[in-house]
């Protein structure tokens, strides 16, 4: 049996006495694109931030490529890219300086060629010397994506990736996600745009009030909650119509 790229086991996160996520377990294999969906406050971002090593889990284990995020964080993080919902950039650095810095962090060899290719692909090449503060919301998002792709991560996590992107940007991003998955990366996408999730993902993970309601392929979700030709939107509403009671503190 191969090691999953992301292995979350019994992950629980408490804020004081409030349960944000309760005993969540799931695995993401290479090449899988998992859509993380759920109503506001379901624990999606908390889960992603814990996988990214930004917030520690209260209990449970989070492993990237077999490396524990808490105890072997550096090895785990080398395999990861995380693009938050509103990525913040260094306002006073230029586009190319962001890439230069990212290449230095992840020790990317021959990064310039890779960076140029990404800038071309995301239509940022004419802006390579522009300061981040001079970029529009969508361009900033594109730059964050370029930085995330630069080191060929094994696990890429997107939190609401389409915010601010123009139609061309959306198409490029979607294609790039498919490309990286085809090359063996595991992708985790959190979004309220269910059409996007349905279009891109191989699996879905539905969270509600910090608990897992469902994890599996879309076909399995349809079989569980709806009929064979139902949309993800219909599945989502049926799945969250009778949610489990809020977990006890």
Partner 1 sequence: MPLPASLILLIGLRLRATWRRVARSLRTPKGIAFAVGMSTMLVLWLSPAIVAIATGAKPPAIRIELMRQFGPLAILGMLMLSVINSPTERALAFLQAEVDFLFPAPFSRSQLLFYKLAQRVVPLLGVSVLLSIWMRTLGSSWIAVWCGVLLTLWFLHLATLCVALAGQRLQRVRFARTCRFVVLLILMAIVAGAWWVGRSIPEATPLEMLKAFAATPLGTMLALPGLAFARTIGAETLWPEALLWAAAALGINLALLTLAVRLDAPWLEAGAESSRKLAQRLEEFKKTGGMTTSVGRFAGMRLPMPPRWRGVGPLLWRQAITGIRRGARGLVFVGVMLVILSVPLLLGESEGVGWRNAFRPMGGIALFYMSLFLPQILRLDFRGDVDRMDVLKSLPASPRAISLAQVLVPTILVTVAQVPILFLANQSLQWNLALLPFWLPALFFANMLIAALDNAFFLTWPTRPATGVGMQFVSAQVLAQALKMMALGVLVGLAFAAGVLVLLMTPNLPWIQPLVTAGILATESALVLASVAKLFARFDPSMEQVADA
Size, binding site for partner 1 by CB under 8 A: 34
CA distances in angstroms from 90 to 46, 96, 144, listed in the order given: 24, 12, 11
Give 144 or 213: the residue with its C-beta nearer to partner 1. Answer: 144
Pairwise CA distance, residues 99 & 119, whole Å: 10
C-alpha 21/C-alpha 39 separation (Å) is 13
| Interface with partner 1, residue 87, by CB under 8 A | yes
Residue identified by tokens 């950039």 is 89
Contact with partner 1 (CB under 8 A): which of 133, 175, 217, 227? 133
90 interacts with partner 1 by CB under 8 A: yes
- Reading the block at residue 167, the tokens are 């139609």
Among 27, 78, 174, 178, binds partner 1 (CB under 8 A): 78
Please choose, out of 32-40, 95-103, 161-169, 235-243, the segment that lies near partner 1 by the rule CB under 8 A.
95-103
Asked if 77 touches partner 1 (CB under 8 A), the answer is yes
Distance CA 117, CA 94 (A): 17
Applying CB under 8 A, does 11 fall inside the site for partner 1?
Answer: no
Angle ∠(143,177,76) on CA atoms, nearest 5: 80
Stretch 40-59 residues interacting with partner 1 (CB under 8 A): 49, 52-56
At residue 58, the 3 state secondary structure works out as: coil
Q: Does 104 bind partner 1 (CB under 8 A)?
A: yes
Count of residues making up the chain = 249
Stretch that binds partner 1, among 26-34, 104-112, 215-223, 236-244 (CB under 8 A): 104-112
- Which region among 2-10, 74-82, 171-179, 189-197 touches partner 1 (by CB under 8 A)? 74-82
> How large is the angle between the packed helices 167-182 and 137-149, nearest 10 degrees?
10
> How many H helices and E strands in the chain?
9, 10
What residue ranges bind partner 1 (CB under 8 A)? 16, 49, 52-56, 73-75, 77-78, 80-82, 84, 87-93, 97, 100-102, 104-106, 131, 133, 144, 147
């Amino acid at each position: 049996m191969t090691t999953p790229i992301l292995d979350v086991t019994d992950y629980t996160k408490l804020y004081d006495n409030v349960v944000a996520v309760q005993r969540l377990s799931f695995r993401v294999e290479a090449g899988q694109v998992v859509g993380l969906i759920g109503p506001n406050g379901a624990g999606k971002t908390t889960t992603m931030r814990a996988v990214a090593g930004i917030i520690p889990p209260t209990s449970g284990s989070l492993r990237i490529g077999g490396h524990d995020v808490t105890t072997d964080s550096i090895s785990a993080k080398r395999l990861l890219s995380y693009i938050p919902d509103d990525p913040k950039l260094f306002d006073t650095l230029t586009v190319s300086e962001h890439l230069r810095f990212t290449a230095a962090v992840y020790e990317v060899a021959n990064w310039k060629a890779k960076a140029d290719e990404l800038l071309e692909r995301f239509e940022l090449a004419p802006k390579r010397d522009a300061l981040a503060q001079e970029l529009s919301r969508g361009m900033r998002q594109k730059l964050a994506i370029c930085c995330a792709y630069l080191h060929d991560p094994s696990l890429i996590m997107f939190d609401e990736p389409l915010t601010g992107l123009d139609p061309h940007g959306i198409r490029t991003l979607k294609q790039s996600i498919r490309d990286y998955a085809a090359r063996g990366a595991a992708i985790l996408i959190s979004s309220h745009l269910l059409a996007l999730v349905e279009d891109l993902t191989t699996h879905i993970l539905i969270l509600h009030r910090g608990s897992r309601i469902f994890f599996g392929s879309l076909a399995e979700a349809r079989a569980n909650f709806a009929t064979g030709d139902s949309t993800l939107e219909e599945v989502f509403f049926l799945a969250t119509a009778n949610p489990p009671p809020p977990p006890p503190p």
